Chain A
Amino acid sequence: DAKTTQPPSMDCAEGRAANLPCNHSTISGNEYVYWYRQIHSQGPQYIIHGLKNNETNEMASLIITEDRKSSTLILPHATLRDTAVYYCIVRVLDAGNMLTFGGGTRLMVKP
């Protein structure tokens, strides 16, 4: 079973920041937080991951609370192409450790 809880859907206006929350209250000390997204009719795409420090890359920022029980994925300037299902996953960083997907958050970016 997935170890994360996400809202089933969210809307965001084009050009605004999209903030996607994720609860992972049972996360273990050696588990990372990963985010993937899945655009319609495509395979999931890696976005970002982190352990306890905030992370930023060209796609998004990941903010992890100090107690690591929740996190927020931030898309700073959402575009229509960011419309997708976003999955928050916790996993141990290890060779070949599988991804356990939950239901994700369906983000709709509106003009």
Chain B
Amino acid sequence: EAGVAQSPRYKIIEKRQSVAFWCNPISGHATLYWYQQILGQGPKLLIQFQNNGVVDDSQLPKDRFSAERLKGVDSTLKIQPAKLEDSAVYLCASSLPRDSGDTQYFGPGTRLTVL
């Protein structure tokens, strides 16, 4: 079974530029999550989708971050414009509700560096 795919793996941009990350969840997983992990900290949830609808985006800085999940499969997370404090690893996860305890499966992440 293929895991969660993310791209790119690394991205370096200058502040005030825009950037987008892509996530392809495990086939059949209805729930998709985006997490932000700052160096030395645990991941923090940014947004959660159930199919193509947003379940929780309370931690998403909506003035600069946006996310979509068209057709309930792939998802993109965008930052526009980026700030220095956005430097972090962006993790995508997916789960099949009530399957094996609603386990979340994580992708390898995208490491963003904002200069």
Question: Which residues, 90 to 115 on B, are CB-close (under 8 Å) to A?
Answer: 91, 93, 95, 97-98, 101-109
Complex interface: chain B residues within 8 A of A26 (CB) = none
Measured CB to CB, the closest approach of chain A to B106, in angstroms, equals: 3
Measured CB to CB, the closest approach of chain B to A45, in angstroms, equals: 7
A96 and B106 contact, Cβ closer than 8 Å, known pairs A101-B43, A101-B44? no
Interface size counted on chain A using CB atoms at 8 A: 24
Residue interface mask A72-83, B partner, CB < 8 A = 1: 000000000000
The answer to whether B42 and A95 have CB atoms under 8 Å apart is no
Query: Considering the chains assembled together, what is the distance between the CA atoms of A9 and B50 in angstroms?
Result: 35
Measured CB to CB, the closest approach of chain A to B49, in angstroms, equals: 9
Task: Tell me the A residues contacting B by CB distance below 8 Å.
Answer: 2, 32, 34, 41-46, 49, 85, 87, 93-104
Task: Tell me the B residues contacting A by CB distance below 8 Å.
Answer: 4, 31, 33, 41-45, 48, 50, 55-56, 91, 93, 95, 97-98, 101-109
